[in-house]
Amino acid sequence: MKDLERLRTLIKEPVELVLNQQIQMELVSSSKYLAMAGWCDRNGYDHSAGFFYKQSEEEREHAMKLFHYLCDQGAIAYTPEIPAVPQEFDGLRSVFETVLEQEITVTDSINRIIGVCRREGDYATEELMKWYVKEQVEEEYIARRCLELIDQIPADQIYYLDKKLASVTYDENPFDEA
């Protein structure tokens, strides 16, 4: 008897399920960052606002990468429901604390997906997820570095702090190919 499911797609159902959950998580991240961008924008943190607008776009791209992968490989990608996200924050520090927590949640989720890929013997999807692993190392670094800067820069130098936060990059990422 033919294996019709295998002819349809290389992605097995448990992997399809967790990838769809990841699409949802990335789009929730995108929505959270957009809310942070809005909060920064209306509170005068222009540079941080710019940083979060860009970040929001990036998270959407992360979701779309998975969405296209599922569709291209014959699996089903679902458009997820996005719940309401927080719109107000106590200050810049609380914004960046939320960022770090969100990125840690994403990293944990990526790691779980790789576990599922290994269990199902899906080495193609595991290979794709490696890109996300590296991405998360960078995202967590940036969030931690921003929190450090908030501690290091005196509270009255808000303009300087805002500018500094938006310029944090991870240049020494050991996973980047030189």
Other beta carbons less than 10 A from residue 17's beta carbon: 14
Residues 14-53, one symbol each (x = binds other proteins by CB under 8 A, - = not), give: ----------------------------------------
Interface map 42-61 toward Fe ion (x if CB under 5 A): -----------------x--
Angle at 48 between CA 42 and CA 53, to 5 degrees: 80
Q: Please, what's the b/e burial string for 48-68 (b: 16 or more CB within 10 A of its CB; e: otherwise)?
A: bbebbbebbebbbebbeebbe
Closest CB to other proteins among 3 and 171?
Answer: 3
User: What is the chain's length?
Assistant: 178
71 binds other proteins (CB under 8 A): no
Cβ atoms of 170 and 138 closer than 8 Å: yes
- The least CB distance from residue 69 to other proteins, in Å, is 16
Of 49, 46, 27, 23, nearest to 36 (Cα)?
A: 49
- Residue 32 touches Fe ion, criterion: CB under 5 A: no
- From 12-20, 26-34, 71-79, 156-164, give the range in contact with Fe ion by CB under 5 A: 26-34
- Residues forming contacts to Fe ion in the complex (CB under 5 A) are 26, 59, 62
